Amino acid sequence: MASLHHQGRSSSSSRRRLHSPLLLAISLISITTLCPQHPFQVAAQANKFASRPKLVDNASKKKKNKKVNTEDGTYSSPWRFGRKEPKVEEIVFDSSDWRRDLFAAEFQLILLSVMSSSLIAVLSWIWYRTTSKLVNDAKVVKPGETGAEDIICENLEQTHSGFFKSVAVGFEDITMTLQQKKNKSERVILDGSIRGIAQPGRMLAIMGPSGSGKSTLLHAISGKVKEDKKINLYGKRYINGVPLTGDSKIPSAFIEQDVNFFPHMTVKETLDFRVELKMGSCLKTKKERDDLVTDLMNQLGLTKSANTIVGNAKVRGLSGGERKRLSIACEMISSPPVIFLDEPTSGLDSYQATQVIETLRKLADQGKTIVAVIHQPSQHTFQLFDDLLLISEGKLMYYGERSKVRGYMTELGFGCEDEVGTAEHILDCVSRVVGADAEAEKQSEKRIETIAAAADRHAREWVSFDAAEGAEAQQVERKMKHIVDLTTTHPGTNIFRQFKLLFGRSIQETLRGKAAIIIKVVQQVSLGLIYGGIYTLGDNQASVMDRFGLLSLIIIGATNMAMAGTIRSFPKEKSIVSVEVASSLYRTFPYFISKAISELPLIAIFNGIFSALIYPLAKLQKGKFKTFLGLTSLHGITSEAVGLLIGSISPSSDVALALFPPIIVLNIIFDGKNISEENTPALLRWVNQVGLIRWGFTGLAVNEFEGLAFSTGGPRRGPVVKTGEEALARFGLDGRTVEDVVRAQTKIIGGCWLLSFLGLALTRQKYEVMQNPVQ
């Protein structure tokens, strides 16, 4: 019936071999990024220190408090990582202390090795689980082996020919239960009585009252039930009468009830983008791709709105009907043989709903198999369908031709007046009366039970799949097919082209969001003017604390704005991206890299505007503006990276915004001024190494105070300081350099980007596997 292909197996194996070195490199980079100090440096510095001839070995010569003068009267301790000690006249070296510190360095090296090995093992296991599933899917069962025979669809040409050219989707015994809390029985969502066939060239409508299980049934048939430990899913599916395994991928398009798009892209740009990604390897020339986009717009009535932006709830764009037709057009790019739609007319007026269904009618007339959930259609819309599957409370009520349902209900004793539409009447028949008198509720319950019993008697007359029994059942089991649709598990173009297209989309979306850009510019200008209007710094003693206060406010404000903006916007974008990644439009890696890089130019521009205002107005130290601008821009990138991490692991904007305040408060507490590192609780000392505000404040303070000289006049705030270095020492910042800050923030950026990527990659949507019905 269909030829078997072995290329999927070898390609996936080679892909795994290709990514193994990459995985190892990422692991090592992550270790380097996340560790603020390296034990290699500790050991090297300790050995270097041990060989210095000027140090007095107290253990060997038994001399205590013997002073040794160094060349400049200072000594840089290797255990303080570059921090200089106050000037002293002697240094006493005890070999026992050296051995203890060297042992500590060696212990840290061993601990780092264990951590690195564990991280590599975890990432390798994740990669193995991801790739092994594809290898197992592509495994071809030899004749005579127990198991399912594979049908591997490797390209779009196979989708449109042979076994998949014309697809009839059958289903029976669909059962779904939901486990509830303890001491409660399972909730039955679909009771196993539902069966039917969606034929090519025909439209099947799934109808029923609210909460009857319509959308659940559609998701079950299409294999789109989201994975949940509380759900038990059973049933059988067929393609052209051939039974399928529960994890088979039917070559089809699935259109959700609510489809989100990037709001600032036009209809043509949206289709161009998807055609490039999905058909880039098939349609080599731009003319071929443009012709496909034009055909799609003509076929779905989108030509007039080709240059209209899609829009969303806040941005004015397409109408509801046009957005729905655009979602159909996006799924029709690869021309799948089957189309599943979840309530395509919901939220539309009668005219727009009719337009959408008429579009589906045209697709069905071309040989497509259409399965749609419809909620309260008009009579005209209802008549466009060929077949009807009616359910109520998870039970089958009717399956058959749409034109015969009115007569069927009359035969059961539930006739309809001539002036009442068929769709309205059948929904009334299968709906339970709630909130009325007890007698009406009993009558409605009895009516539903009567219709369900009649449907159960006629079910096998309506549709039959020739189930075998006894020894024949085992033979049928062997004939089951496992469909591996590689066209929906692999992007249609290479990773470099994916990056190019995604980067262009990110830049375009950012630049077209003029309202967001204007708001951010106003924020930067307002803060610059406010700070510059309040602070005018001099060289007296009062200006020392004023400088520290201003620099702290600058960093806290920059952290708030950068993180809040990302946290508010990214979860919304992630909801769109997760659907596109799940449909294998592109991979997570090129998306994330393009997203991260596209944010950099605007961060530099916004910080440039702020710095150009605050620096001259507040009279900060002359000659260090470029370093100030670089540090504020780097801090903005770091804050964006942390916001990206929070957004990537948060399921919604509400959760991300809830995490935002405690993270900010934690960073303020450990900013280097509010609590000393020695008094920090042991479990929280790592926060000092990754503190956003701490490193940002340290960088600006070192840049500002180094080289400054202060007069002794003016109001005093503590001991008199004459130089900027003395002021830094009061805050424990002596010995710190701008290079230290750049290295620390670069590591934080790298760590956050890595964790964000892993968060996106590991939270990819998974679906339930349909099990065989329990006999």
pLDDT digits (tens, 9 = 90+) for 415-462: 888 778 899 999 989 988 877 677 888 888 899 999 999 988 888 788
Tell me the residue ranges of DSSP E strands in 414-547: 481-485
Cα separation, 165 vs 251, in Å, equals 10
Cα separation, 301 vs 324, in Å, equals 11
**Per-residue pLDDT at 321:** 87
Return all residues near 461 (Cβ < 8 A) that are at least 6 apart. none
Amino acid at 409: M
**Residue 664: which H helix or E strand, with range?**
helix 653-669
**Per-residue pLDDT at 105:** 54
Cα separation, 105 vs 662, in Å, equals 34
Tell me, yes or no, whether 503 lies in a domain. Answer: yes
Share of the chain above pLDDT 90, in %: 31
Tell me the residue ranges of DSSP E strands in 481-586: 481-485
pLDDT band at 294 (very low <50, low <70, confident <90, very high): very high
Count of the separate structural domains present in the chain: 3
**Per-residue pLDDT at 40:** 43
**Per-residue pLDDT at 500:** 93
For residue range 194-232, what is the model confidence (pLDDT) as tens digits?
999 999 999 999 999 988 899 999 999 998 898 888 899
Instruction: Give the Cβ contact number of residue 344 at 10 Å.
Output: 27
Mean pLDDT score, 507-535? 91
Amino acid at 485: D
**Per-residue pLDDT at 336:** 87
Mean pLDDT score, 238-258? 86
Tell me, yes or no, whether 465 lies in a domain. Answer: no
Q: Which of 307, 324, 341 is where one domain is finished?
A: 324
Q: In whole angstroms, how far apart are CA 235 and each of 203, 214, 246, 436?
A: 22, 16, 8, 36
Phi–psi pair at 178, nearest 5 degrees: -120, 120
Examine the pLDDT at 19 and tell me if it is beyond 70. Answer: no
Cα separation, 383 vs 378, in Å, equals 9
Cα separation, 392 vs 376, in Å, equals 14
CA 388 to chain centre: 37
Q: Which of 170, 153, 341, 364 is nearest to 251 (CA)?
A: 153
**Per-residue pLDDT at 486:** 52
**Per-residue pLDDT at 183:** 66
Report the length, in residues, of the chain.
Answer: 775
**Per-residue pLDDT at 768:** 87
Amino acid at 337: P
For residue range 649-706, what is the model confidence (pLDDT) as tens digits?
887 788 888 888 899 998 888 887 777 777 778 788 788 788 889 899 999 999 999 9
CB 68 within 8 A of CB 55: yes
Between 731 and 644, the more confident residue is 644
Tell me, yes or no, whether 300 lies in a domain. Answer: yes
Return all residues near 532 (Cβ < 8 A) that are at least 6 apart. 613, 614, 616, 617, 618
Mean pLDDT score, 265-278? 92
Residues 571 and 708 in one domain: yes
pLDDT band at 124 (very low <50, low <70, confident <90, very high): low
Tell me, yes or no, whether 130 lies in a domain. Answer: yes
**Per-residue pLDDT at 357:** 92
For residue range 167-190, what is the model confidence (pLDDT) as tens digits?
899 999 999 998 887 767 788 899
Q: In whole angstroms, how far apart are CA 614 and each of 525, 553, 724?
A: 9, 12, 20
**Per-residue pLDDT at 608:** 93
Examine the pLDDT at 540 and tell me if it is beyond 80. Answer: yes
Provide the mean pLDDT of the chain.
78
Phi–psi pair at 160, nearest 5 degrees: -100, 15
Tell me, yes or no, whether 595 lies in a domain. Answer: yes
Cα separation, 28 vs 31, in Å, equals 5
Q: Which of 324, 339, 356 is where one domain is finished?
A: 324
Tell me, yes or no, whether 458 lies in a domain. Answer: no
Tell me, yes or no, whether 714 lies in a domain. Answer: yes
pTM beyond 0.85, yes or no: no
CB 4 within 8 A of CB 152: yes
Helix (H, G, I), strand (E, B) or coil at 87: coil
Mean pLDDT score, 269-288? 88
For residue range 542-596, what is the model confidence (pLDDT) as tens digits?
888 889 999 999 999 999 988 988 888 888 888 888 888 888 889 889 999 999 8
Tell me, yes or no, whether 196 lies in a domain. Answer: no
Q: Which of 624, 644, 646, 647 is nearest to 636 (CA)?
A: 644
Enclosing domain of residue 291:
263-324
Phi–psi pair at 234, nearest 5 degrees: -130, 155
**Mean pLDDT lowest for which of 78-92, 348-362, 445-459, 610-624?**
78-92
Amino acid at 628: F
Cα separation, 502 vs 499, in Å, equals 5
Q: In whole angstroms, how far apart are CA 206 and each of 256, 411, 764?
A: 15, 22, 29
Q: Which of 83, 112, 137 is where one domain is finished?
A: 137
**Mean pLDDT lowest for which of 14-18, 427-431, 658-662, 763-767?**
14-18
**Per-residue pLDDT at 133:** 44
Q: Which residues pair with 151 in a beta bridge?
A: 483
**Mean pLDDT lowest for which of 290-299, 410-419, 641-650?**
410-419
Alpha helices in 138-224 (DSSP H): 156-159, 214-222
**Per-residue pLDDT at 151:** 55
Helix (H, G, I), strand (E, B) or coil at 255: strand
